[in-house]
């Protein structure tokens, strides 16, 4: 399947993608009845669950949270023939013209000798030769074809991808799915490849940072032999162009967090450099720390004055929009406060604490320029949540995103992913161990962005 978009085509496609939402149905069936002629599977449920989680947690897929349905073995609603058909009809009826319908089926497909129909096998199938207990694929296409949505995609992970029907307005991507072929025993090879593409973690699956059906097909073709029947036009699944961390980009209407704070690594300083008139050293460490913080304004005056001039030149702010007081620079939608933290009685570090409104994340590169102007090299970033959470309830999502839980209390969770450390309390999510300057650059490091975005995405549902 041909791929390759021009820059202009990618911009037009992304603009159209932003107008609608994706509505999803994912079916994953492991619990087949061997006596009915269908062997049980091992990874179909996990593949479908992972598919659902991607659309729930990854904002770039622009899924409608109220229109994501999963029917999996062991779930609340069994993936029976009746439930699959009912869910398909509900999905088709729910869509507007600009929406996208995506159906993922992971299970057995079956043909009856002498019957040209392709059948999807539901969990309650009781006979391999009775079409009445199966789901005809032509019926699936007819239901989707009756929807107002202009773009429809069916992804089949079945026994064989050969001889799939033409979709007649529905794009079909059929792939062989083998439980034993994947290096990750939790997913089929199809599942592993598909989920990595939906997460935006494989650059080769993207075209100008856009995940299209064509680029997805190219990605899957490297490891599988998918069969595709494209409908007219190019279908965009995800837009992974920045910014990713802004509340708007997360499609949460600013409801995710209300403040962003970045804390510096701290530079060493002697207490006598700040308290120049200090003659007695018998005071307690706590007292000296308090006095040093009171004296930071005069100590930092020259540096802060230079920073104000640099900020005005870069952001073209009026003098009235900036102020300096007690070691703190205030500017539109933010401020930077320096603090002295004692490490011993006579020595400590100067730490810059940058507090910003979420709007600073909306323009790639602006925050990086701000950090440069302030000479700020942050070691951690904290998001003050707009709504409190119960940290323990976020553990399943963290684990689903590959985080390793290192400390688990009801009021506080700690986890790690590579070098990144996450701490979650009721009102704050903190990340450390990330190269934050690279995260907020005009062309951010995509691996760093994905780690931070995955942490924020667990709070979006």
Secondary structure of 127-191 as H, E, C letters: CCCCHHHCEEHHHHHHHHHCCCCCEEEEEEEECCCCCCCCCCCCEEEEEECCHHHCCCCCCCHHH
CA dist 296 and 145 (Å) reads 69
Domains and CATH numbers, the chain: 7-239 (3.40.50.1460), 242-265+377-461 (no CATH)
Element (H, E) at 420: strand 420-424
Element (H, E) at 351: strand 347-356
CA dist 216 and 194 (Å) reads 8
Picking from 382, 379, 384, 383, the residue whose alpha carbon sits closest to that of residue 436 is 379
Task: In the chain, count H helices and then E strands.
Answer: 13, 22
Instruction: Give me 222's structure tokens.
Output: 């490297």
Q: How many CA atoms lie within 13 A of 180 on its CB side?
A: 1
The pLDDT tens digits along the chain (461 residues) read 445 545 554 554 444 544 588 999 999 999 999 999 999 999 999 999 999 988 887 778 888 888 999 999 999 999 999 999 999 999 999 999 989 999 999 999 999 999 989 999 999 999 999 999 999 999 999 999 999 998 999 999 998 766 566 657 899 988 888 766 666 788 888 998 898 888 877 788 888 778 988 899 888 888 787 777 766 567 889 887 654 454 444 443 445 778 899 998 778 999 999 999 988 888 999 999 999 999 999 999 999 999 999 999 999 999 999 999 988 999 999 999 999 999 999 999 999 999 998 888 776 678 889 999 998 889 999 989 888 888 888 887 777 667 889 999 888 999 998 888 999 999 999 999 988 888 887 767 767 776 777 677 666 54
CA dist 389 and 398 (Å) reads 14
Cis peptide upstream of residue 243 (ω within 30 degrees of 0): yes
CA dist 300 and 66 (Å) reads 52
Contacts for 97 with CB less than 8 Å, ≥ 6 apart: 20, 148, 149, 150
CA dist 403 and 390 (Å) reads 17
Neighbours of 316 (CB within 10 A): 8
């Amino acid at each position: 399947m041909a791929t390759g978009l021009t820059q202009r085509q990618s911009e037009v496609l992304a603009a159209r993608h932003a107008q609608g939402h994706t509505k999803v149905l994912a079916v994953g069936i492991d619990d087949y009845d061997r006596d009915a002629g269908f062997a049980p599977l091992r990874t179909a449920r996990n593949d479908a669950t992972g598919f659902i989680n991607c659309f729930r947690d990854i904002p770039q897929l622009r899924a409608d949270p109220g229109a994501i349905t999963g029917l999996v073995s062991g779930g609340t609603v069994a993936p029976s023939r009746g439930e699959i058909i009912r869910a398909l009809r509900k999905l088709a009826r729910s869509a507007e013209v600009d929406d996208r319908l995506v159906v993922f089926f992971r299970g057995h497909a079956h043909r009856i000798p002498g019957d040209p129909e392709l059948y999807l096998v539901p969990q309650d199938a009781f006979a391999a030769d009775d079409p009445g207990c199966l789901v005809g694929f032509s019926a699936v296409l007819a239901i989707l074809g009756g929807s107002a949505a202009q773009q429809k995609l069916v992804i089949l992970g079945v026994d064989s991808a050969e001889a799939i029907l033409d979709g007649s307005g529905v794009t079909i991507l059929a792939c062989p799915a083998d439980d034993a072929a994947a290096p990750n025993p939790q997913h089929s090879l199809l599942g592993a490849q598909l989920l990595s593409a939906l997460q935006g973690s494989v650059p080769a699956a993207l075209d100008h940072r856009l995940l299209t059906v064509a680029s997805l097909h190219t990605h899957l073709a490297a490891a599988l032999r998918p069969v595709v029947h494209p409908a007219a036009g190019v279908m965009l699944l995800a837009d992974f162009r920045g910014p990713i961390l802004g509340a708007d980009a997360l499609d949460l209407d600013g409801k995710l967090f209300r403040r962003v704070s970045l804390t510096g690594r701290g530079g060493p300083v002697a207490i006598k450099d700040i308290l120049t008139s200090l003659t007695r050293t018998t005071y307690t460490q706590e007292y000296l720390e308090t006095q040093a913080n009171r004296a930071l304004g005069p100590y930092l005056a020259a540096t802060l004055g230079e920073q104000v001039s640099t900020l005005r030149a870069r952001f073209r702010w009026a003098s009235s929009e900036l102020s300096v007081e007690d070691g703190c620079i205030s500017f539109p939608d933010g401020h930077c406060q320096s603090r002295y933290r004692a490490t011993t009685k006579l020595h400590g570090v100067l730490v810059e604490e940058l507090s910003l409104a979420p709007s600073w994340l909306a323009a790639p590169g602006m925050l990086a320029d701000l950090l440069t102007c302030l000479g700020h090299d942050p070691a951690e970033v904290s998001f003050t949540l707009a709504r409190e959470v119960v940290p323990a309830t976020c553990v399943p999502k963290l684990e689903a995103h590959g985080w390793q839980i290192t400390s688990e209390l009801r009021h506080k969770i700690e986890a790690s992913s590579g070098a990144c450390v996450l701490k979650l309390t009721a009102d704050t999510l903190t990340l450390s161990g990330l190269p934050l300057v690279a995260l907020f650059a005009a062309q951010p490091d995509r691996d760093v962005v994905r780690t931070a975005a995955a942490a924020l995405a667990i709070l979006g549902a």
